[in-house]
Amino acid sequence: MPPSRADLAAKRRRARHLLRAGRSTAAVAAELHMDRRAVRQLRIDAGIPALPGGTPQRLTVEEKWRSHTRRTRGGHMTWTGEHTSAGGRVMRHSGTAYSAHRVAYRIQHGTDPEGHAKSGCGRPGCVAPEHQIDTAERRVVRTPRTVYDSAEAKLAALTRPTGDGHLDWTGPHDSGGRPLLNWRGRHCAPARPAFAQHYGRPPEGRVTAACDHPGCLAGAHLDDRLTRAEHARAYAALGL
């Protein structure tokens, strides 16, 4: 029995989908057992540009990554792409293999993870970018299942009193060496919650330490734009 009109239409839809996903005319023709000229005509009719010089990949790494993910409840993400025999989530792009977690980490942080990236949300295999943590952060948190009730609780766990009234950061740093507090997938300088905790309000403008201990996070040693202005007024009143 010859294929029905509906069958042919479905095949053409499938061909257009594959072409848009960056597959070559030849690859689509081979996969769908279609005539190359017919596939080329479909490409022209749908306005899908031909691949320059037969470049195998039209999607960027991130676009390809996204096409292999599915959001699930609770903000998690399932990997629907390739797995290694050991269960690793991977994808290939222009001849290079990528770890799905590593790409996810890069999407969230803009930098490569230190060591390996994996989910820190307690759901193994979750590839949601905002749920990825790297080896450096796992070392600090000790167990990826540690859940802090608040940014302040996490701050307390990642700081250490110096013994002479200051407070040191023991948590992770960004690629520029600045301390980085990751709270529920959002990042901030730990000085901000440290300030808020001490003053009972969020800081305005930049938070700076007024003491001589580099990177100090003791709330009482921190200033924002408003407290700096207050000090300046007080000094002026004293004629200083």
Give the Cα separation of 47 and 238 in Å (integer): 74
Name the burial class of residue 164, with classes exposed (0-12), middle (13-18) and buried (19+) by CB atoms within 10 angstroms of its CB: exposed
Per-residue x/- track, 13-52, Zn ion (CB under 5 A)? ----------------------------------------
The answer to whether 119 touches 83, Cβ cutoff 8 Å, is no
Of 217, 97, 205, 81, the closest CA to residue 154 belongs to: 217
Which CB, 51 or 126, lies closer to Zn ion? 126
211 touching Zn ion, by CB under 5 A? yes
Q: Which of 29, 34, 126, 141 binds Zn ion (CB under 5 A)?
A: 126
The contacts of residue 153 (CB under 8 Å, 6+ apart) are none
Q: Which of 103, 166, 169, 196 binds Zn ion (CB under 5 A)?
A: 166
218 touching Zn ion, by CB under 5 A? yes
How many residues sit close enough to Zn ion to count as binding (CB under 5 A)? 12
Q: Which of 152, 213, 215, 227 binds Zn ion (CB under 5 A)?
A: 213
Q: Which of 14, 16, 93, 123 binds Zn ion (CB under 5 A)?
A: 123
216 touching Zn ion, by CB under 5 A? yes
Sign of the dihedral through C-alpha 143, 216, 109, 115: negative
128 touching Zn ion, by CB under 5 A? yes
| 122's tokens | 């307690």
Residues that bind Zn ion (CB under 5 A): 76, 121, 123, 126, 128, 131, 166, 211, 213, 216, 218, 221
